[in-house]
């Protein structure tokens, strides 16, 4: 298929001659018509989202074309073309940050518009119990999707944002989470996943998980209890033999520091409260303290007493001065 021609034709400003050429091409056989109908349906559904304004359609179709030409190595059954195309569209849309458009595509899956279920936490932490009994806790402004056949032939999840997972054990049906450019696969354990602008991080609290690039299982590692794994946007992978428990403070409500350099403690506090950090002082001390369900104002007041620093917040920034 000539993706450049298709993208030009689907655009509202398409020329009449381009539409006629595409019509003649698709009229050759039924398979071409079906393929074009599938892509047109996805395109029209996603165009309803205003976030598509400004998207480079030619570049995005290039990504889709590249993905469609890449064979998948998998231990599971082959994915039907339509579901595969939706997964590729999801990958492109995640890269562009178009979560709303992805939700629309998943909700309107061809002949069965209710095939997918979506869950969004918006401005609050939200827990979701899945059909297999597993529990997912979404951080603020995060989303997940799964199909209505979840726990029958697969336990696949698409995640955008950050979440904490408590997965029911089932070695016959692995639990898989697709996030950004990563894939996490487990049979049953507790872990968290965070999709940041520059990386995807998995933090394991019990058991172990398989952590790999979603489209390249050769780039993979096993992350076990009290370890962390990172996949960066350049598709490199890194494992650390430690966890920063404050990375899930949004779930536990606790910030714990034990001889932690003050600058790192302030970074964790700023991240916990979704604030920026501006340091205008020399920070050489360490901090041993624990804060549980306390307000930012209370924490900053205690830090000033402990460190003798001037710490206050202005708008969305925590400012640290001598």
Which residues are 146's β-sheet partners? 117
Whole-number pLDDT of residue 1: 47
pLDDT (average), residues 68-93: 43
Q: 76: pLDDT confidence band, cut at 50, 70 and 90?
A: very low
Is the pTM above the cut of 0.75? no
Residue 98 has pLDDT above 60, yes or no: no
Residue 39 has pLDDT above 60, yes or no: yes
Q: 50: pLDDT confidence band, cut at 50, 70 and 90?
A: very low
**Cα–Cα distance measured from residue 113 to residue 203, given in angstroms and rounded to the nearest whole number:** 34
pLDDT (average), residues 103-127: 67
Residue 95 has pLDDT above 90, yes or no: no
Whole-number pLDDT of residue 122: 86
Helices (H), 69-179: 81-96, 99-107
**Cα–Cα distance measured from residue 227 to residue 240, given in angstroms and rounded to the nearest whole number:** 6
pLDDT (average), residues 155-164: 93
Taking all residues of the chain, what is their mean pLDDT, rounded to a whole number?
Answer: 78
**Cα–Cα distance measured from residue 300 to residue 169, given in angstroms and rounded to the nearest whole number:** 42
Q: 296: pLDDT confidence band, cut at 50, 70 and 90?
A: very high
Q: 12: pLDDT confidence band, cut at 50, 70 and 90?
A: low
Residue 79 has pLDDT above 70, yes or no: no
Q: Tokens at residue 297, please? A: 């104002």
pLDDT digits (tens, 9 = 90+) for 108-119: 444 354 567 889
pLDDT (average), residues 275-289: 90
Q: Which residue has the higher pLDDT, 292 or 74?
A: 292
Residue 78 has pLDDT above 60, yes or no: no
Whole-number pLDDT of residue 44: 60
- Cβ atoms < 10 Å from Cβ of 134: 21
**Cα–Cα distance measured from residue 89 to residue 104, given in angstroms and rounded to the nearest whole number:** 12
pLDDT (average), residues 3-15: 58
Whole-number pLDDT of residue 7: 54
Same fold, 115-243 and 253-321: no
Mean pLDDT lowest for which of 68-82, 222-236, 247-261, 293-307?
Answer: 68-82
Q: Is the distance from CB of 183 to CB of 212 less than 8 angstroms?
A: yes
Whole-number pLDDT of residue 117: 87
CATH 2.60.120.1440 fits 115-243, yes or no: yes
**Cα–Cα distance measured from residue 10 to residue 41, given in angstroms and rounded to the nearest whole number:** 10
The CATH architecture one would assign to domain 253-321 is: 3-Layer(bab) Sandwich (3.55)
DSSP H/E element including 94: helix 81-96
**Extents of the domains making up the chain:** 1-114, 115-243, 253-321
Q: Is the distance from CB of 190 to CB of 170 less than 8 angstroms?
A: no
Q: Is the distance from CB of 217 to CB of 230 less than 8 angstroms?
A: no
Mean pLDDT lowest for which of 82-86, 260-264, 283-287?
Answer: 82-86
Classify residue 207 as left (phi > 0), alpha (psi -120 to 50) or beta: left
């Amino acid at each position: 298929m000539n993706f450049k021609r298709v993208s030009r034709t689907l655009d509202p400003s398409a020329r009449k001659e381009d539409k006629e050429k595409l019509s003649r091409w698709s009229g050759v056989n039924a398979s071409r018509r079906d393929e074009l109908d599938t892509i047109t349906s996805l395109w029209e559904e996603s165009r309803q989202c205003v976030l598509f304004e400004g998207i480079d359609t030619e570049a995005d179709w290039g990504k889709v074309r590249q993905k469609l030409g890449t064979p998948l190595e998998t231990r599971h059954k082959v994915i039907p073309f339509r579901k595969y195309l939706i997964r590729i569209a999801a990958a492109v849309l995640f890269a562009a940050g178009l979560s709303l458009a992805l939700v629309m595509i998943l909700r309107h899956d061809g002949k069965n518009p209710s095939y997918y279920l979506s869950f969004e936490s918006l401005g609050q932490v939200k827990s979701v119990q899945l059909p297999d009994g597993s529990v997912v806790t979404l951080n603020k402004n995060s989303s997940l999707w799964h199909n209505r056949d979840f726990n029958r032939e697969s336990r696949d999840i698409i995640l955008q944002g950050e979440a904490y997972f408590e997965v029911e054990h089932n070695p016959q049906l692995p639990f898989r989470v697709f996030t950004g450019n990563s894939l996490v696969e487990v049979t049953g354990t507790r872990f968290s996943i965070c999709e940041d602008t520059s990386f995807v991080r998995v933090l394991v609290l019990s058991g172990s998980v398989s952590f790999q690039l979603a489209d390249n299982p050769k780039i993979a590692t096993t992350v076990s209890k009290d370890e962390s794994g990172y996949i960066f946007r350049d598709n490199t992978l890194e494992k650390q033999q430690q966890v920063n428990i404050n990375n899930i403070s949004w779930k536990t409500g606790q910030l714990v520091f034990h001889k932690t350099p003050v600058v790192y403690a302030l970074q964790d506090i700023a991240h916990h409260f979704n604030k920026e950090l501006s340091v205008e002082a020399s920070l050489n001390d360490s901090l041993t303290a624990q804060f549980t369900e306390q307000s930012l104002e209370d924490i900053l007041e205690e830090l000033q007493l402990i460190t003798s620093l001037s710490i206050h917040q202005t708008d969305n920034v925590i400012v640290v001065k001598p």
